[in-house]
Chain A
Amino acid sequence: MVGKNMFRRTLLAFFIVTVAFSLAVPSMAFAQDYPRKPITAIVAFNPGGGTDVAARVILKFAEKYIGGQFVVENKPGAGGAVGFTAIAMAPKDGYTIGMINPPTVLLKPIQEGNLVKYSLSDFEPIANFVSDPGALVVPPDSPFKTMMDVVEAAKAKPNTIRMGYGGPGTSEALTLRNFENAFGIKVRKVPFEGTGPQLTALMGKNIDVMFTNASEIVSQYKAKTVRVIAVGAPKRIPMMPDVLTYKESGFDTIQLAMRGLAAPKGIDPKHLQILSDAMAKVFNDPDFQKRADELSLPLDYMGPAEYKKLLQELDAFYRAEYAKNPW
């Protein structure tokens, strides 16, 4: 009898514990109602590229603050347009967001017209992460010490300076066009695919100057295998403190390749708030700042409102420039 009673009591205790747990566990999990499952972050470029690395590092840190998981999904194609479209068309439940790359993300709908099925108004910006300034780069033994040296040389001998850039249609091409117009000069524009081949041509003296982005040549800059004569940031950058800005050099232009996070338009404002708060916290995390420094990420945090305003301004600027003349 005693044994049976004992058995019953144990069973009861077991039952109570089980019920308690089964009640407690979901209530713990449901304490937060977003995110309840992993959030997919679309990256419009291949794994291992600049955008992918930035996204993976930042979102990894953000997991701690949001209390959930991020899954990076690479959707490359058509220079980013495939991935950007996927973000714009994603379900608005807050579980699909993605990286947008201004100005590329803005240029695609302007340049490709009907081919691209999204526009800026399809995105709800969450945060800007990095702003990678354009950089004017020369070989270490080049006679050009400043941007004005290039301008002077181009004035003295029009159409002789060989300048490497990212190819027609890129924002670099627009900067280069405005550079020529601002000083009334003409240079030889040589298109390149990516910084690597461009760097080879520069070091092999096949081109005289190259336009690229600062973070892509920071290691060569440190190794002094190239000289950077100007950067396209609004003020000098910590990565290259001794390099003048375009504006300081006499060319009043800002050239930035930006990378930030956006959701499809129409997501719940509460979800947007949770996401943007988490991102803001990441940028105040000293561990994250250290990691970003190791990776040479030119951090430039902007919250949703500020980012949205800037994107609209940039969009208007590029539309106006395109209306003047495509580049």
Chain B
Amino acid sequence: MDSLSLLMQGFATALTWNNLIFCLIGVGVGMFIGVLPGLGPVAGTAILIPLTFGLEPTPAIIMLAGIFYAAMYGGTITSVLINTPGESASVITCIDGYQMARQGRAGAALGVAAIGSFIGGIVAILSLTFIGPTLARFAIKFGPPEFLSVMMFGLLLIVGLMGKSIVKGLIAVVLGLLLAMIGQDPGSGASRFIFGQIMLLDGIDFVVLAMGLFGVSEILLNAEKNMETETPPKVKGLIPPREEWAPAAKAIGRGTALGMLLGLIPGASASIASLLSYSFEKRVAKDPSRFGKGAIEGVAGPETANNAYAGAALIPLFTLGIPSSPTVAILLGAFTMHGLIPGPLLYERNPDFLWAVIASMFIGNVMLLIMNLPLANLWAKVARIPYKLLAPLILLICMLGVFSVNRSVWDVGLLVFFGIVGYFLKKLEIPAAALLLSFVLGNNIEFTMIQTLSLSASGLLYLFQRPISGVLMTLCILILALSIYSSIKKKRGQLADDAEV
């Protein structure tokens, strides 16, 4: 039987009342988890797994997969409204999304994010259905050297996200890399910069850092102005003005492609997908100076990319049995618990289960779109709540979210600390987003570099001996060389142009 008729059978199973209800519960919970800063899809899925013990495998996996892709929808909301990313893939959305909300365009930001997410999600599932297995076999060739070069490329792209000054941007990047060093050294196991604190042995949690630098510091900053942040006079509708349609649609298209590509590669993450998409949008834009001031592409691209990522990340799991991200690893655990073996055998042994889950993802994405469009209007009104009422709520949500990750009061203390750090960073105009992203990349760069070095007989030259990493590294060097050359040639060169965020 070909994929299409199998998919139709899957729809027949997925459209039974029982499965529909579990799909609805899954996407509902996922949305909620995405909205709550700190509580990410990893923790959310893990907490719900024990509840699925009594269920049949099909509804159980339909529900858990729903949480995974729905969290990407929800993450946007807090980024746009209160400048606090709901989960790591939405950090970058804060930059332009929050600006849009300040201008009373929160509805348009959320609307375009929901539509983009829907398109990205659906295209990714379509490819899971039809070309998944072929693609996955290619993507698996990505090894530590390729990851290292992707991360290096990402680090270089952060340059494009820096604030007004290159020097301050570099300070942010270096601070991020330094913070990433805290904890156990992946190469030797030695503990670094932990100051005798066992709680620092695992390093600093991304969630704690993100909530502190964005959420808490924003409150501190506003407290200075007696909490009298000007609220937008009125919230305009969901539909962006006509002239924004074409750029938004193009950004959605590019975001879909980029997110899918990264989802296929085991080990990449949704936050890298959204980061790359944002930088890419800024590069291709006719007027890059609009970015950081509420450019619609800066929301549409990354938000589409992280949803396309979430759909595509399931391809390596279904076809090869490989968990490509921590959330997918938990999903893999759920498969095993229900006696299912992910991988090529799934297509042979449990086709009814597999196709029902795939069909449920189409249904789940439609549900999310229906939920999100009217809700976007409702959410957008949050931007009009007086800040003095909103602030304690944000603080509470940040603290609860951080506490929920490791159930540790230490982390809450660390959150407050980074809130204060974030306050001074903002005062000094050091870009927090660049710090946070280099922190994420820093962890991975170090680890993949150690892996690369232990794999290779020729040191870092190995990076150039493999085709994919070779091309990427050459690109990095070219970009770097060109930027340096042009900035030497004319004082306000390419790098300085980039800095005009």
Give the B-binding residues of A (Cβ under 8 A). Answer: 46-49, 52-53, 56, 73-79, 81-82, 85, 111-112, 114-117, 159-160, 162, 167-169, 173, 188-194, 196-197, 199-201, 203-207, 218-220, 222-225, 294-296
Contact = CB atoms under 8 A, between A and B. Distances in A.
Interface of B: 43, 45-47, 49-50, 140-144, 184, 186-189, 191, 194, 196, 198-199, 201-202, 266-267, 316, 320-324, 328-330, 332-333, 335-337, 339, 341-345, 406-408, 447, 450-451, 454-455, 457
A75 B202 CA distance: 13
A200 B266 CA distance: 7
B323 A201 contact: no
Interface centre among A114, A115, A196, A222 (most CB of B within 10 A): A196
B330 A48 contact: yes
A219 B336 contact: yes
A82 B144 contact: no
B356 to A, nearest CB: 20
B49 A74 contact: no
Contacts, number: 146
A79 B201 contact: yes
A72 to B, nearest CB: 9
A190 B455 contact: yes
Contacts of A75: 406-408
A318 to B, nearest CB: 15
Nearest to A200: B266
14 contacts: A48-B49, A53-B49, A76-B407, A79-B201, A79-B202, A81-B198, A112-B201, A159-B457, A162-B455, A196-B322, A199-B321, A200-B267, A225-B321, A225-B343
A295 B337 contact: yes
| List of 10 A-B pairs having minimum Cβ-Cβ separation, nearest first | A48-B46, A206-B143, A169-B189, A168-B189, A78-B201, A196-B323, A47-B46, A223-B345, A204-B140, A219-B341
Given A48-B46, A53-B337, A77-B199, A201 B343 contact: no
A224 B339 CA distance: 16
A132 B141 CA distance: 29
A78 B141 contact: no
A223 B343 contact: yes
Contact of B341 (A162, A203, A222, A295): A222
Contacts of A220: 321, 341, 343
A294 B141 contact: no
Contacts of B267: 197, 200
A114 B196 CA distance: 9
Contact of A197 (B187, B266, B336, B455): B266
Most interface-central of A47, A48, A115, A160 (chain B CB within 10 A)? A48
A86 B341 CA distance: 36
Contacts of A224: 345
A167 B189 contact: yes
Given A75-B407, A204-B141, A222-B341, A188 B454 contact: yes
B344 A225 contact: yes
A202 B213 CA distance: 38
A114 B341 CA distance: 43
Given A200-B142, A219-B341, 15 more contacts: A47-B46, A48-B46, A77-B201, A79-B201, A82-B199, A115-B201, A117-B198, A188-B454, A197-B267, A200-B267, A204-B142, A219-B335, A219-B343, A223-B344, A225-B344
Contact of B201 (A74, A81, A200): A81
Contacts of B336: 218-219, 295-296
B186 to A, nearest CB: 6
Most buried by B among A76, A112, A190: A190
